[in-house]
Amino acid sequence: MISINGLTKTYAGGFKALNEVSLDIDRGEIFALLGPNGAGKTTLINIVCGIVNATSGSVSVDGFDIQRDFRQTRSRIGLVPQEMASESFETVWNTCRFSRGLFGKAASPEYLEKVLRSLSLWDKKDTISMQLSGGMKRRVLIAKALAHEPEVLFLDEPTAGVDVELRQDMWNVVSALRDQGVTVILTTHYIEEAEQLADRVGVINHGEIILVEQKDKLMHDLGKKQLVLNLQAPLAEVPLQLKDYQLELSEDRNDLTYTYDTARERTGITALLSDLGEAGIHFNDLHTSQSSLEEIFVDLVKKR
Amino acid sequence: MNFRAVKAIYRYEMARMFRTVVQSIVAPVLSTSLYFVIFGSAIGSRITEIDGVGYGSFIVPGLIMLAIMTESISNSSFAIYFPKFTGTIYELLSAPISYVEVLFGYVGAAASKSMIIGGIILFTASFFVDIEIAHPFVMVSFLILTCVSFCLFGFILGIWATGWEKLTIVPVLVIMPLTFLGGTFYSISMLPPVWQTISLFNPVVYLISGFRGSFYENADVSIVLSLVTTIGFLIVCLLVVRWIFKTGYRLRS
């Protein structure tokens, strides 16, 4: 749906925000773009949407070039910006109707009503924006972006600073959009958001795409699974005959942690438990844990 | 052509005018009416006719020009500066519209407001003084051309401005003095020869003179020259706006 090739952006001051970024987004997927502050996420989105001019490279949306065929590309895209920009003195209804018209769509009160209801904004339709809470203003931004029935929706940090209930509501809206076939590109600081929603994940740092992968495969390939054994008696040190397992002994010497790869045919757990018995080490309890997308992300960014 | 976008912008901007009707319409009409009362009735009654026209009637075209130039710049500069200030400009920049459509929407609405104000002032003036319009078609042409040109100029100003102070600096320090010295309240033929020559470098002289000529056929400079100057100013503004949208100056980084 979106094809980005060799995109570079150098700002007037000389700061290189994007460096030869190439990326393909498939139709109908939810793509999470992760990266620390200043990584280039917003610049990338703004170029695709037409707000920032690229220094070099090309972007096409549904086969149309964003420069040459800007009408075709922009009419397909909806954008929820990071900044809370609102038309302070306009009612929710008027501002959404304006957005729909601006994108060349014929008036459709029925559709706007549906959008406002889905975002729990219908009761606020005659309220002016400046009288809304921060969370409600964020919903209005989403409603405006959806007002022209976009095929692609960019959500730039959509849940930054909103409460848990609203975040859950937004997740539901995004899931519903996916069901309707809308392509969603999401940037977020809340990695649990990407973990919950995304089909694919891209990681950007210092203006370069570090990795693009299916979320499940990423978590499978780069995620670690750990077995933690709570010992019956504290252990002075890990016996030599167990050194191949690279066990970690906790500071209070009561827990042993074994890290293993779930992708391997043999995890080594059966052998470990057997060897522990032979070494006379007994345990009261055990549990397993898997690394989150956040841990994978932090690990990736640190390595770069 | 994205007519729906043009309509959306136009309707949105006109709604803003009706929402702030006191500021948009009542205030300029009131201040211009005060000019009629002071210069037209109070002081004007003691001033002899100028070029065969009573002083109160003589200043009507100049006052209309003063009001529409000020309002055109103010309306259009605010219309584009406010979205920049609030950040909602992102929507305009990401919409499938060309700069021509943006201009039709914003400048069209701002020019409409100015023409409404010009019409109301003309109507109000008719209660105070006798008004004749010798060339109605020329008068309307000047009115439209001036509104559109100064709305374009205001639009450029709104894009150029990076703060509220800059937004007001040009209208207050440049346009207002040029208008007052451009023959709003007098005929430049009343000035000493040196000042008459200097006045000819003031573009506003041509606008006021041409507009007044369409009323009373007593222009300081020829109406054709006034028209050419006004159209020239319009073309320069159009070229600047085209350059702004082509380069993204202060709009797209």
Q: What is the pLDDT of residues A18-37, one digit of tens each?
A: 999 999 999 999 999 988 88
Contact yes or no for B87 and A85 at CB 8 A: yes
ipTM: 0.84
Average pLDDT taken over every residue of chain B: 88
pLDDT confidence band for B223 (50 / 70 / 90): confident
Given this model, what pLDDT does residue A291 score? 65
Given this model, what pLDDT does residue A165 score? 76
Mean pLDDT of A281-300: 76
Nearest C-alpha of chain A: how many angstroms from B249? 11
Given this model, what pLDDT does residue B103 score? 92
Q: What is the amino acid identity at position A173?
A: V
User: How far apart are alpha carbons A48 and A65 in whole angstroms?
Assistant: 10
* Residue B246 CB-density burial (10 A; 0-12 exposed, 13-18 middle, 19+ buried): exposed
Mean pLDDT of A164-178: 82
CB atoms inside a 10 Å sphere around CB A40 = 23
pLDDT confidence band for B157 (50 / 70 / 90): very high
Nearest Cβ partner of A102 from B8, B15, B19? B8
User: How far apart are alpha carbons B245 and A104 in whole angstroms?
Assistant: 20
Whether A74 contacts chain B with CB within 8 A: yes
pLDDT confidence band for A73 (50 / 70 / 90): very high
Mean pLDDT of A131-142: 87
pLDDT confidence band for B220 (50 / 70 / 90): confident
Given this model, what pLDDT does residue B72 score? 92
Domain ranges (residues) in chain A:
2-220, 223-303
- Asked if residue B203 has pLDDT above 80, the reply is yes
- B95 chain-A contacts, CB cut-off 8 A: 74, 102-103
Closest CA to A204 of A90, A86, A44: A44
Q: What are the C-alpha distances in Å from A25 to residues A33, A48, A75, A184, B152?
A: 11, 12, 17, 9, 40
Contact yes or no for A74 and B94 at CB 8 A: yes
Given this model, what pLDDT does residue B113 score? 92
- B90 chain-A contacts, CB cut-off 8 A: 49, 51, 79, 81, 83, 85
pLDDT in tens, B71-92: 899 999 999 999 999 888 999 9
Contact yes or no for A104 and B4 at CB 8 A: yes
Per-residue exposure over B173-208, b if at least 16 CB sit within 10 Å of its own CB, e if not: eebeebbebbbbbbbbeebeeeeeeebeebebbbbb
pLDDT confidence band for A143 (50 / 70 / 90): very high
Q: What is the amino acid identity at position B171?
A: P
pLDDT in tens, B8-22: 999 999 988 888 888
Contact yes or no for B86 and A87 at CB 8 A: yes
- Asked if residue A194 has pLDDT above 70, the reply is yes
pLDDT confidence band for B126 (50 / 70 / 90): confident
Nearest C-alpha of chain A: how many angstroms from B89? 9
- Please give the residue that has the higher pLDDT: either B214 or B37: B214
User: How far apart are alpha carbons B200 and B219 in whole angstroms?
Assistant: 13
Contact yes or no for B2 and A71 at CB 8 A: yes
User: How far apart are alpha carbons B219 and A219 in whole angstroms?
Assistant: 81
Mean pLDDT of A85-98: 88
Whether B48 contacts chain A with CB within 8 A: no
Whether B88 contacts chain A with CB within 8 A: yes
pLDDT confidence band for A263 (50 / 70 / 90): low
- A130 chain-B contacts, CB cut-off 8 A: none
Dihedral angle over CA of A171, A92, A181, A48, nearest 10: -90
- For residue B77, the number of C-alpha atoms closer than 13 Å in the C-beta half-sphere is 25
pLDDT in tens, B43-69: 777 777 777 788 888 888 988 998 899
Sorted by sequence, the CB contacts under 8 Å of residue B233 that are 6+ apart come out as: B149, B153, B203
A223-303 CATH, one of 1.10.150, 3.30.70, 3.30.530, 3.30.1360? 3.30.70
Closest CA to B88 of A95, A207, A26, A295: A95
pLDDT confidence band for B168 (50 / 70 / 90): confident
CB atoms inside a 10 Å sphere around CB A211 = 16
Q: Assign residue B132 a region: left if phi > 0, alpha if psi is -120 to 50, beta otherwise? A: beta
Whether A55 contacts chain B with CB within 8 A: no
Mean pLDDT of A206-210: 88
- The fraction of chain A above a pLDDT of 70, given in percent, is 91
Mean pLDDT of A210-232: 79
Given this model, what pLDDT does residue A111 score? 94
CB atoms inside a 10 Å sphere around CB A269 = 15
Mean pLDDT of A87-101: 91
- B16 chain-A contacts, CB cut-off 8 A: 89
Contact yes or no for B90 and A51 at CB 8 A: yes
Contact yes or no for A101 and B15 at CB 8 A: no
pLDDT confidence band for A294 (50 / 70 / 90): low
Q: Count of CB contacts below 8 A, A vs B?
A: 79
Given this model, what pLDDT does residue A223 score? 62
CB atoms inside a 10 Å sphere around CB A302 = 8
User: What CATH number was assigned to the domain covering residues A2-220?
Assistant: 3.40.50.300
Whether A71 contacts chain B with CB within 8 A: yes
Average pLDDT taken over every residue of chain A: 86
